[in-house]
Amino acid sequence: MSIQEKSAGVTPGKERRGSLRSRVDLFPYVLILPALLVISFVIFYPIVEAIRTSLYSITIAASTQGEKFIGLANYFRVLSKPVFWNQLWVTFVYTFGTVVISYGVGLLAALLVEKPFWGRSVVRTVLLMPWILPHVVIATVFILLYDVQFGVANYLLGLFGFDPLQWLSDPSWAMPAVIIATSWSQYPIAFIMLLAGMLMIPEELYEAAEIDGANKLQLFWYVTMPSLRPVSTVIILLFTIWNFKRFDYIFVMTGGGPLHATETLIVETYLRAFKYWEVGHAAALGTITLLISVIFTIIYLFFVRKGEIQEG
């Protein structure tokens, strides 16, 4: 052992063990590195490519002539059109409506089957069935339900003395019709997550509240809902992200019509890319949609976190 090692109080054995520990600590990261590389490529490469494409003037007809760099011109073109702001509003309306209805129906369904009763497992299975059906199939079924002459929806309205509605061809009713179809297909996700959250709430909380004189409504509002806040945060965040970029139901049921009543940003992005062949314009629209989703997510999580800190 050298004089420097003695003065530093470090022995060769300790130094070797320290370096070995450092190598061992890196081993888990080495194992997950291939998966991280694949995920990064799948997620980030399309985003980077979309941003790059949005800076060029690219059309399918002129693709053989090469790409022309135009900077932020596509973004200025998108933001300067009044139709963009209408599509943004339509997107917000569709997202808000589907999130509220899906969460509300899921919560009611979870409350319905929370307590044991005969046939509860059958009821749970039936309530989960919309989740397993393909979206295109659900959209097609709802088109038949909304049929003006033979649809069940107008038949039920007629039983109560109401006139039939032009569900998918009337601008006033097309959006509610699509929102109902979307909410019916995704409420089981909220249902199963909220039910799992309810079953994890300790019975002692309810017993303590009942001793203090709380009624059923107060138990729900002051015990059940606060206990479900973490689950509700995840559900609302997922539904918001999913529905903000939802395409299938709107495209199959209305195609964005009538009169742009259901034309969201994602539908317009598709039309620009594959109907009008304006790839650069479509990439700019997609990038703006992604940016809005990220900003909304950050703001929502900020207020959720702020509320948790204030209550804590």
Q: What is the pTM of this model?
A: 0.84
Q: Residue 63 falls within a domain, yes or no?
A: no
The Cα–Cα gap between 142 and 206 comes to 41
Encode pLDDT of 210-221 as tens digits. Answer: 998 889 899 999
Asked whether 195 and 113 are in contact (CB, 8 A), the reply is: yes
Structure tokens of 291? 């940016």
pLDDT score for 117: 85
Instruction: Look up the domain containing 122 and give its range.
Output: 69-311
Alpha-carbon span 225 to 239, nearest angstrom: 18
Name residues of the chain where pLDDT drops below 70. Answer: 1-24, 60-66, 307-312
Asked, for residue 256, whether it belongs to a domain, the answer is yes
- Relative to beta strand 56-57, strand 68-69 is antiparallel
C-alpha distances in Å from residue 284, one per residue of 54, 112, 248, 255, 274: 5, 45, 21, 21, 14
The tokens of 160 are what?
């109560």
Same domain, 24 and 123: no
Instruction: Note whether 38 and 153 are same-domain residues.
Output: no
Asked whether residue 5 is domain-assigned, the answer is no
With respect to residue 226, please indicate whether it lies within any of the assigned structural domains: yes
For residue 298, tell me if it sits in a domain. yes
CATH number at residue 151: 1.10.3720.10
Q: What is the pLDDT of residues 125-173, one digit of tens each?
A: 999 999 999 999 999 999 999 999 999 999 999 999 999 999 999 999 9
For residues 173 and 287, state if they share a domain: yes
pLDDT, tens digit (0-9, with 9 covering 90-100), for 274-285: 888 889 999 999
State how far the alpha carbon of 4 is from the alpha carbons of 7, 13, 14, 18, 216, in Å: 5, 15, 15, 18, 75
Is there a domain that residue 118 lies in? yes
Same domain assignment for residues 119 and 203: yes
